[in-house]
Amino acid sequence: AQSVTQLGSHVSVSEGALVLLRCNYSSSVPPYLFWYVQYPNQGLQLLLKYTTGATLVKGINGFEAEFKKSETSFHLTKPSAHMSDAAEYFCAVSESGSNDYKLSFGAGTTVTVRA
Amino acid sequence: GAGVSQSPSNKVTEKGKDVELRCDPISGHTALYWYRQSLGQGLEFLIYFQGNSAPDKSGLPSDRFSAERTGGSVSTLTIQRTQQEDSAVYLCASSLAGRGADTQYFGPGTRLTVL
């Protein structure tokens, strides 16, 4: 099974500052990669995903992520944090082959935005 | 349009009782997933249904857990003889098909508390 590591369980940023959330995975075979956001008492909402093609992926709410095969990473960034970005963020990676519907999730990173 | 819905939103039960959790996927989605989200284990895959194919039950933690999907739509997750370690948020997701690149759309979850 895939192993997904999110560096930092909590990140605090000032409003207007860069948001950088790190995600590394274990597979040597390029999987499908996802970032989800979870607001309190809600389900997960897709921010963006990488499936094929361009390695810089743009998502909703101004977020983007870059797939780096050589580093097995898929870090999430947003140039300028907004108060509404306070939430928990999960990186997810698919299995390879016929089980690619199965997602493995990182432990999550809680983002706090300071005014 | 309507998203994935789950009921109940909260369930409190006594140890040893059986519980049923319900999931209504997005109309037209052939793939349905159950995940468990707990403090100790993070987000874990439980089970996957795709059309009329045999489900992938590889993530079910014990034989007390079972799930069915009737008519290719609604799904019920049943936990028999609940234990305190079953306390978690149970999330359901659906996708258009069971391909790894497909976006999984999540419901708001059912918070289960076993006393």
Model confidence pLDDT, tens digit, residues A90-111? 999 998 788 889 999 999 999 9
User: Quick one: what percent of chain B has pLDDT higher than 90?
Assistant: 84
pLDDT for residue B1 = 58
Q: DSSP letters along A99-115, please?
A: GTT-EEE---EEEEEE-
pLDDT for residue A79 = 97
pLDDT for residue A96 = 79
Q: Are strands A10-14 and A109-114 parallel, antiparallel or unpaired?
A: parallel
Q: DSSP letters along B42-88, please?
A: EEEEEEEEETTSPPB-TT--STTEEEEESTTS-EEEEE-S--GGG-E
Residues in chain A closer than 8 A to B59 (CB atoms): 102
Chain B positions contacting chain A at CB under 8 Å are 4, 31, 33, 42-43, 45, 48, 50, 56, 59, 91, 93, 95, 98-109
Reply yes or no on whether the pLDDT at B103 is more than 90.
yes
pLDDT for residue B42 = 86
| B35 in Cβ contact with A92 (< 8 Å) | no
Token look-up 């989605």 returns B29
**Average pLDDT for A77-94:** 96
Q: Average pLDDT over chain A, rounded to whole?
A: 93
Chain A positions contacting chain B at CB under 8 Å are 31-32, 34, 36, 41-46, 49, 51-52, 90, 92, 94-95, 99-108
User: Quick one: what percent of chain A has pLDDT higher than 70?
Assistant: 99
List the structure tokens of A38: 């979870």
Write out pLDDT tens, residues B35-83. Answer: 999 987 789 999 999 988 899 999 999 999 999 998 879 999 999 999 9
Write out pLDDT tens, residues A43-70. Answer: 899 999 999 889 999 999 999 999 999 9
Could you say which of B56, B93, B103 has the minimum Cβ distance to residue A49? Answer: B103
Contact A100 B100 (CB under 8 A): yes
Contact A44 B108 (CB under 8 A): no
Q: Average pLDDT over chain B, rounded to whole?
A: 94
* The total number of residues written for chain B in this structure: 115
Contact B50 A103 (CB under 8 A): no
pLDDT for residue A81 = 97
Q: How many CA atoms lie within 13 A of B10 on its CB side?
A: 3
Reply yes or no on whether the pLDDT at B12 is more than 80.
yes
